[in-house]
A = this chain, B = another copy of it.
């Protein structure tokens, strides 16, 4: 089993299919700044259990010790007892059972959106991990390594029909599929283990970037041959045409300026974590609204990544006319609210008895001459039915 796909962590990117240069400063691999090094790491991962023949340099010896501690599989695994993971869907999908932990819930004992995003990232990486081709955490197929290609995420959409509560046992399914000719989709479903009811669904889009030129790339044939056996047609969210998110400007109703990434906001890629972006977006919405509403969906369009020294501005704008939002903005509404998952929601949340509110978001880096977009977003909200714990 040689085929695998690369790192599905959340790496925002500026990109364009017109061949414009990528403006971010993505560094996917901590240990690998050149393709030669990447190849070495992959060779280690592919070398089976005996790493002694490769342990000629200090660095490789060091990596072997990591691998012992991490127990990175060098072959495809079907079951991961420690992570409670399981390969499903005839060998290409991944399911993990998780329990909502005490620190993953907010004031109402329901899992926070941030916790869900964390679990999406975790299960995606564990899926790759199970493939047996994860080298130092960011495996790429051999074809991708040969072509200096890495994955970058361009879009993420999450829809939460019902928030899991503290202590609840969840099953998270994740899988990949084709996205156009040159991209990949990764989807997730979160279900209650006890009832089988779907609580949340998510989809993300990934494109290939040349690590050296920082340009987006088409998917080479050899890479397509490697990864396409992993693709599943099934979709977590049925969207016809992705909604275009309007770019906000200085006239936005709410602006939060001078946001500074802190050390604790950096992930293992030394980038501001995806979850932090969402936090910045949501913190810009007035408290009064947040207290009485619950997020039902979010769409993120990544433009470029944010480094530790950037100063960030968060803008947001409520939809002008709530009636219009509920009646006319059909396409988005359908994506966010009227999907089959809710229709089959067994009464947890009917599609018609919920009034929906929308916000448009923008995170940007304040520059001296011009601002640079980090991420555009759309959030969708429903009124809380009650302020009691456990209510949605």
Contacts and interface: CB of A to CB of B under 8 A. Distances in A.
A234 interface: no
Interface in A181-215: 192-195
Contact of A283 (B9, B114, B262): B262
Interface in A123-176: 125, 129, 137, 164-169
Contact of A107 (B68, B193, B267): B267
A109 to B, nearest CB: 5
Point out which of A9, A99, A283 has the most chain B C-beta atoms below 10 A from its C-beta: A99
Contacts of A262: 279, 283
A268 B9 contact: no
A55 interface: no
Contacts of A283: 262-264
Interface string A30-43: 11000000000000
Interface stretch (A69-77, A225-233, A321-329, A337-345): A69-77
Contact of A192 (B69, B109, B137): B69
Given A122-B102, A290-B263, A70 B268 contact: no
Given A103-B267, A264-B106, A68 B121 contact: no
A101 interface: yes
A31 B263 CA distance: 36
A216 interface: no
Given A70-B167, A118-B103, A168-B70, A390 B109 contact: no
Interface in A253-300: 262-264, 266-268, 270, 273, 275, 279, 282-283, 287, 290
Contacts of A103: 118, 121-122, 267, 273, 275
Contacts of A118: 101, 103
A95 B188 CA distance: 31
Given A66-B165, A72-B167, A112 B275 contact: no
A105 interface: yes
Contacts of A238: none
A62 interface: yes
A23 interface: no
B389 A112 contact: no
The range of chain A's interface size is 35 or more
Contact of A166 (B112, B137, B194): B137
Given A103-B273, A106-B264, A287-B263, A167 B71 contact: yes
A300 to B, nearest CB: 17
A247 interface: no
B121 A194 contact: no
A97 B71 CA distance: 15
A298 B69 CA distance: 25
A107 B69 CA distance: 18
Interface string A77-107: 0000011100000000000010101110111
A241 interface: no
Interface of A: 9, 30-31, 62, 65-66, 68-72, 82-84, 97, 99, 101-103, 105-109, 112, 114, 118, 121-122, 125, 129, 137, 164-169, 192-195, 262-264, 266-268, 270, 273, 275, 279, 282-283, 287, 290, 388-390
The 3 A-B pairs of least Cβ separation, nearest first, read A70-B167, A103-B118, A101-B122
23 contacts: A30-B109, A30-B389, A31-B388, A65-B390, A66-B165, A72-B167, A82-B97, A82-B99, A84-B84, A101-B122, A102-B122, A103-B121, A105-B267, A105-B268, A106-B266, A106-B267, A114-B264, A137-B166, A137-B167, A262-B283, A263-B282, A264-B279, A264-B283
